Amino acid sequence: MSKGPINPDQIMVGNDPVLAGHRDDYDSLGRHLSRRGISIDDITAQLAAFSLAIPSWGLGRGGTRFAKFAMPGEPTNIHEKLEDAAIVQQLCCITPRVSPHFPWDRVDDFVGLREAATSMGLEFDAVNSNTFQDQKDQAHSYQYGSLSAQDKGVRDQAIAHNIECIAAGTLLGSQALTVWVADGTNFPGQQDFSRSLDRYIDAAAEVYAALPTDWRMLLEHKLFEPAFYSSVISDWGSSALAAQELGPKAQCLVDLGHHAPNVNIEQIVARLHRLGKLGGFHFNDSKYGDDDLDSGSINPHQLFLVFNELIEAQNNPRTGFNPAYMIDQSHNVTDPIESMLSSAEAIAAACTKAMLVDRAALHEAQACNDVMAAFQSLRLAYRTDVTPILAEARYKAGGALMPLNAYRSIEWRLLKARHRKSVGLGAGIV
């Protein structure tokens, strides 16, 4: 039975009125899939093995850059964030891990924090360092970069911060450090492209050397922002090159929103897998140049195509296919718990649809250049409504058949607004 703030009986009581309808839908889809040679129960079981991490920063309303519009009952510290993450996990049963962000999630007692998470059915995923903005009492400024900065003092400070994140993560039970640097330029001529990459790789190598044996270092690329002329780790190519130079424990992390519009991200997935460098994902969506919209809200087909490549990769593992999946979004117009529930469902749907692709038919069509048959093998899977499979997987795990309705029925924010202090009007955290 699921642990967490909600009484599990309450979830079951909420499921009762819609259970008969769900059974009918699941059985109907089961008959349909059976005619396609697919066992619905096998797919449901496969989905049960899939899980995602939630970023601690995505539990607050800090997103979309320009302003923060706080809501009553919003979490104000990592303990309250864990409580909200536990709600998400209890209802959707697919997000059992939280990814902390330092320095914001720093506490005096990391062992106690881990115990608190465990008591709510949660674990910690990759730890995230932050060298994109200055903190109070910091000796050196990151204004002109961090791991790639010209000034050795700045680089050493960034290295030390990353190593401190590893130490915290070790106490939390994490096994990965995600490194995204805001380093880059706003003017042509501001920095030497090659030398700044050299400095980044040299500094990252010092962080790499501090990784425990069973850890990975996930390098996250981003095309632009906050640097608008060039970024040091701007794309998958730069990221793969850096990961190759650093060593086997360094892999690349693909954030869906960190590419130019219309870039073929599914091909990038296949390329990184080919290189043995596919380390993980940050799921979100993007319309123009943003990276914070809810997963699947703009381009669910792209999400499906990404998962199609991931299933191919899983079926043809080269070296250590073990991508870390995480939601990375942050909004300021929705309740973050509702956005997490909605995104978890969208990601699970894309994953499930990719499981439905008739791989034998696809490969056969590819082999004989039957382009339309190849395309249709993807199309057939994509247009299947997998909602009953997602609901069944949740139900079997003790979750809610209709997570959003269940969440609204407990009036969580109203309850929490009585105890949690109100959030200030700080700038949003990207």
Count of residues that interact with Mn ion, criterion CB under 5 A: 3
Closest to Mn ion by CB, 81 vs 394, is 81
- Residue with Cβ nearer Mn ion (30 or 279): 279
CB of 328 to Mn ion, least distance (A): 4
Least Å from the CB of residue 405 to Mn ion? 30
Least gap, CB of 323 to Mn ion (angstroms)? 14
Residue 323: CA atoms inside 13 Å, Cβ hemisphere, count?
29
Tell me the HSE value of 227 on the side-chain side, using a 13 A CA sphere. Answer: 26
Residue 37 to residues 238, 356, 358, 361: CA-CA distances in angstroms?
A: 43, 10, 9, 12
Binding region for Mn ion (CB under 5 A) out of 39-47, 83-91, 327-335, 373-381 = 327-335
277 or 282: whose CB is closer to Mn ion? 282
**Cα 292 from Cα 63, distance rounded (Å):** 7
Q: How far is the CB of 280 from Mn ion (least distance, A)?
A: 10
Cα–Cα distance, 269 to 160 (Å, whole number) = 31
- DSSP secondary structure letter of residue 176: E
Compute how many other C-beta atoms are within 10 angstroms of the C-beta atom of residue 195: 11
The 213-252 contact track toward Mn ion, x by CB under 5 A, reads ----------------------------------------
324/356 with CB nearer Mn ion: 324
Q: Pick between residue 105 and residue 328 the one whose CB is nearest to Mn ion.
A: 328
**Residue 123's beta-bridge partner residues?**
97
Q: Single out the residue of 309, 328, 335, 392 in contact with Mn ion (rule: CB under 5 A).
A: 328
Shortest distance, CB of residue 264 to Mn ion, whole angstroms? Answer: 19
Contact flag: residue 285 with Mn ion (CB under 5 A):
no
Tokens found for residue 90? 């209890």
Q: Which of the stretches 73-81, 93-101, 121-129, 323-331 binds Mn ion when contact is defined by CB under 5 A? A: 323-331
Decide: 147 and 200 in contact? Cβ < 8 Å: yes
- Interface with Mn ion includes 255 (CB under 5 A)? yes
Regarding 282 and contact with Mn ion (CB under 5 A), the answer is yes
Q: What tokens does 348 get?
A: 């699970």
CA distance 65 to 14: 37
In the complex, minimum distance from the CB of residue 160 to Mn ion, in angstroms, rounded to a whole number: 23
Choose among 89, 108, 97, 251: nearest CA to 171.
108
Task: Convert residues 138-177 into a mask of x (bound to Mn ion by CB under 5 A) and - (unbound).
Answer: ----------------------------------------
CA atoms within 13 A on the CB side of 355: 24
Measured torsion, CA atoms of residues 239, 245, 248, 254, in degrees rounded to the nearest 10: 0
Nearest distance, CB of residue 255 and Mn ion, angstroms:
4
Write out the DSSP string of 136-159.
Answer: TT-SS--TT-STT-SSHHHHHHHH
Provide the minimum distance between the beta carbon of 182 and Mn ion in the complex, in angstroms, as a whole number: 12
- Which of the ranges 43-51, 326-334, 339-347, 353-361 carries the binding residues for Mn ion, by CB under 5 A? 326-334
Q: Does 292 contact Mn ion by CB under 5 A? A: no
Residue whose CB is less far from Mn ion, 255 or 266: 255
CB atoms within 10 A of CB 16: 9
| Binding-site ranges for Mn ion (CB under 5 A) | 255, 282, 328
